[in-house]
Amino acid sequence: MKSAETKAFKATLQAMRARLRGDVTTMADAALRKTRSESSGDLSSMPIHMADIGSDAYEQEFTLTLMATEEDTLVLVEQALERIRARCYGTCEECGGVIAKKRLEAIPFAPTCIRCAEKLENGGFGSGSAGRPRQPR
């Protein structure tokens, strides 16, 4: 991949990383640091109804699930930035082939080409092979 293209993807990934870090921090504050009265504006910290307790628990669990997903994406972004530093960005980690530019424009942190991603989703590679680079054939 050309240096100018790599710089553009690097800028996109860095912006994505900054946004995700902010999102995760905001969600953590919302889910873990607020009391019920702070989040709902109630004067009392005691729920009026049992359903309020269930709603609060659901909201907290939902936020924590979103936070975990964002953290997973953040890890993928960090790995893509590392591939840029290692000068192997745009190379499929499974087959060693080139990842299409269109795929990287859609998913800049994609570690695999479309063909290998489909095989991984369908269990096409042997167990334990995900994430390990393979030699081109």
Pairwise pLDDT comparison (97 vs 40), residue with the higher score: 97
Are residues 108 and 10 in contact, defined by beta-carbon separation less than 8 angstroms?
Answer: no
Q: Which domain holds residue 108?
A: 90-137
Same domain, 113 and 63: no
Please, which residues bridge with residue 98 across strands?
91
Residues 137 and 72 both lie in one domain: no
pLDDT tens for each residue of 101-135:
999 999 999 999 999 999 999 986 654 444 444 44
Residue with tokens 């990287």: 104
In a shared domain, residues 35 and 82: yes
CA distance 120 to 126: 9
Alpha-carbon distance of 28 to 36, in angstroms, equals: 15
Q: Are residues 30 and 94 in the same domain?
A: no
pTM for the whole structure: 0.65
Task: Provide the 10 A C-beta neighbour count for residue 82.
Answer: 11
Structure tokens at 39: 């989040």
Phi, then psi, of 107 in degrees rounded to 5: -135, 85
On whether both 74 and 98 belong to a single domain, the answer is no
pLDDT at position 81, please?
96
Same structural domain for residues 94 and 79?
A: no
Of 80, 81, 77, 124, nearest in space to 134 by CA? 124
